[in-house]
Amino acid sequence: MHMARKIGLLMIFWIGVCLSAGLAQDEIPDLSRVQIISTRVAGNVYMLEATGDVAGNIAVSAGPDGILMVDTQYAQLGPLIQAELKKISKGNVRYVINTHSHQDHTHGNLFFGKSALIIAHANAFPHLLHMPGYAQPTITFSQELSIYFNGEEIKVIHFPPGHTDNDVVVFFTKSKVVHVGDLWNSGESSFPTVDLEGGGDVRGMLHNVKHLIGIIPEDVKIIPGHYELSNLDGLKVTRDMLRETITLVKKKISAGMSLAQIKKEGLPQKYDSWGTGYTDAESWIGNIYYGLKKSTRSGKN
């Protein structure tokens, strides 16, 4: 190989490595002004939110058995989360359940994993091997498990690929609260995101949301992966959006339109109020487009 070409390729490789490292670090936002706010949801269950929605929502079961947490946000927020927990209960954090492997839901394992038992789906384990042993899951499962804690069954169920390939939903059965992780971001400020590299599936997300609607009782309160506490009616709004936007992009692909053309035409006007959060309309169109293309390559209908 010509020396100049070899040097050029090495430079491109090195720039790629540097950019990848930079992007990895950029995944942790500025947390210097973040506050943790707690809300009692129902029964023994509370929701902890980071202001500015810089990290995933936490569910907390607090009672005579101690504390069980669903998701841990970022380790840098650990002391703030701990301080808020002390306002709720004098008990110690005994269990942590990760709804999926993304950093804004698991990085806090570094803080809480030193004293708590961490539980996650088996598919999440490989994604968390970069963390120290104490921050990795101690218990993994394939389909579902139950923990009897603070006077109720806490049921953890794995759903097929949707947001990722390791999504779980946590049901606080007596309190009538469900934490759905990033299978759903409530409200209309952001379209969802499907992590295609993490095993996610666009149509799988729609299937999972539809399945959830079929099994969640009407009076259940839902803690979403991001944004405000909600309910079944809110989840139905997202189901309708997923169904309509995925069908729309699929039809345009079948008509031979390119991604650029589909983005230019955009989504129906009724979605103009969406997309001000993490994922805007163009990003969601691209997510659907590549997700459907991936499904076609893998032989899925």
How high is the pLDDT of residue 27? 74
- Per DSSP, helices labelled H in the chain are 3-26, 78-88, 103-106, 109-112, 202-215, 232-254, 259-265, 281-297
Q: End of a domain among 225, 242, 259?
A: 242
pLDDT in the model for residue 301: 58
Other CB atoms within 10 Å distance of the CB of residue 112: 24
> Contact at 8 Å (CB) between 189 and 63?
no
Note whether residue 8 is domain-resident. no
Residues 99 and 191 in one domain: yes
230 shares its domain with 82: yes
Same domain, 107 and 253: no
Same domain, residue pair 122 and 262: no
Query: Is the residue at 57 inside a domain?
Result: yes
Instruction: List the one residue out of 154, 47, 58 whose CA is nearest residue 99.
Output: 58
Identify whether 65 is part of a domain. Answer: yes
* Domain presence at residue 178: yes
The rounded distance, in Å, linking the Cα atoms of 60 and 71 is: 9
Going residue by residue through the chain (301 aa), what tens digit of pLDDT does each one get? Answer: 443 333 333 333 333 333 333 333 347 888 989 999 999 999 999 999 999 889 999 999 999 999 999 999 999 999 999 999 999 999 999 999 999 999 999 999 999 999 999 999 999 999 999 999 999 999 999 999 999 999 999 999 999 999 999 999 999 999 999 999 999 999 888 899 999 999 999 999 999 999 999 999 999 999 999 999 999 999 999 999 999 999 999 999 999 999 999 999 999 999 999 988 889 999 999 999 999 998 777 666 5
Could you tell me if 231 and 191 lie in one domain? yes
Q: Is 185 in the same domain as 175?
A: yes
3-state secondary structure of 49: strand
DSSP annotation of 26 reads H
248 and 104 within one domain:
no
Amino acid at site 107: H
Q: Which long-range contacts (CB under 8 A, 24 or more apart) does 76-82 make?
A: 76/28, 76/31, 77/31, 77/34, 77/36, 77/50, 77/108, 78/108, 78/110, 78/111, 78/112, 79/111, 80/34, 80/35, 80/36, 81/36, 81/48, 81/108, 81/111, 82/111
Read off the CATH number of the domain in which 38 is found. Answer: 3.60.15.10
Containing structural domain, residue 287: 244-297
Answer whether residue 251 is part of any domain. yes
Tell me, yes or no, whether 229 and 263 share the same domain: no
Cα radius of gyration rounded to whole Å, the chain: 20
Q: Report pTM.
A: 0.89
**148 and 181 together in one domain:** yes
Does residue 21 lie within any of the structural domains? no
End-of-domain residue from the set 203, 218, 242? 242
Q: What angle do CA 39, 184, 55 make, to 5 degrees?
A: 55
Query: What is the distance between the alpha carbons of residues 28 and 44, in angstroms, rounded to a whole number?
Result: 31
Cβ-contact 78, 51 below 8 angstroms: no
Contact criterion met (CB below 8 Å) for 99 and 105: yes
Count the domains in the chain: 2
Determine the pLDDT at residue 79.
97
Residues present in the chain in total: 301
Q: Which DSSP helix (H) or strand (E) runs through 118?
A: strand 117-121
